[in-house]
């Protein structure tokens, strides 16, 4: 099985680190992985995206023009990536800041109130982990224990005390995903 995913939003939302933690989780589950970021003038407030591929087989292109899943966290990314989801694929978005919700009729659409949930959890920086949890509900590509191992591997030791809080956010996201349209 191969999962081709794009995560897109604002710089500062934790888009790249979410991809990195997912990639590490894949490594922990002995999968092939690739992580290719948009890089350059992107910064806090600008757009940022990352392509993550998890597979049992050798990964060919790390750069794609259509995706199994798109996780979309701002309007610019919706405009850019909604049409790049494969028919029958999955689109997950956080409605906070989205003016034009997705219109495609041929894909599965999910909503996650990541911004609200992270605020309720008391740490807005856990936003990306809430979204990761929601994604894993829709697409169980890696197990929760691999995510924990992935967090341990990708975070420097001095930040390891934050892992329980992050796992709580992943769990909360997992429980809070809403299906809006199934095909």
Partner 1 sequence: MGELRLMKGNEVIAEAAIRCGCDAYFGYPITPQSEVMETLMDREPWNETGMVVLQAESEIASIHMIYGAAASGKKVITSSSSPGISLMAEGISYIAGAELPCVIVNVSRGGPGLGTIQPSQADYFQSTKGGGHGDYRLIVLAPSSVQETNDFVELGFKLAFKYRNPAMILTDGVIGQMMEKVVLADYIPRLTDEEINEKYGSWATNGRKANRQRNIITSLEMDSVKMENNNLRFQEKFAQMEEEDVMFEEIQCEDADYLLVAFGSSSRICQKAVDLAREKGIKVGLLRPITLFPFPKKPIAVLAKKVKGILVVEMNAGQMVEDVQLAAGCAIPVKHFGRMGGVIPSPGEVVAALEQKLIGG
Residues that bind partner 1 (CB under 8 A): 20, 23-24, 27, 32-37, 39-40, 59-66, 153-154
Helix (H, G, I), strand (E, B) or coil at 43: coil
Long-range pairs, 106-109, Cβ under 8 A, ≥24 = 106/183, 107/181, 107/183, 108/138, 108/179, 108/181, 108/182, 108/183, 109/179, 109/180, 109/181
Helix (H, G, I), strand (E, B) or coil at 16: helix
DSSP single-letter state for residue 61 = -
Q: How far is the CB of 51 from partner 1 (least distance, A)?
A: 9
Question: Is the distance from CB of 67 to CB of 6 less than 8 angstroms?
Answer: yes
């Amino acid at each position: 099985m191969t999962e081709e995913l794009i995560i897109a939003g604002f710089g500062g939302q934790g888009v790249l680190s979410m991809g990195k933690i997912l990639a590490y989780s894949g490594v922990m589950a002995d999968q092939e992985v690739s992580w290719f970021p948009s890089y350059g003038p992107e910064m806090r407030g600008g757009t940022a995206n990352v392509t993550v591929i998890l597979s049992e087989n050798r990964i060919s292109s790390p750069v794609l023009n259509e995706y199994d899943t798109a996780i979309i966290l701002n309007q610019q990314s919706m405009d850019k990536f909604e049409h790049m989801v494969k028919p029958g694929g999955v689109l997950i978005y956080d409605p906070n800041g989205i003016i034009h919700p997705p219109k495609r009729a041929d894909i599965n659409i999910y909503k996650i109130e990541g911004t609200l949930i992270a605020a309720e959890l008391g740490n807005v920086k856990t936003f990306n982990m809430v979204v990761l949890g929601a994604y894993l509900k829709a697409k169980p590509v890696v197990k929760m224990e691999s995510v924990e191992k992935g967090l341990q591997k990708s975070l420097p030791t001095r930040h390891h005390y934050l892992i329980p809080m992050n796992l709580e956010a992943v769990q909360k996201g997992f429980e809070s995903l809403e299906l809006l349209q199934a095909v």
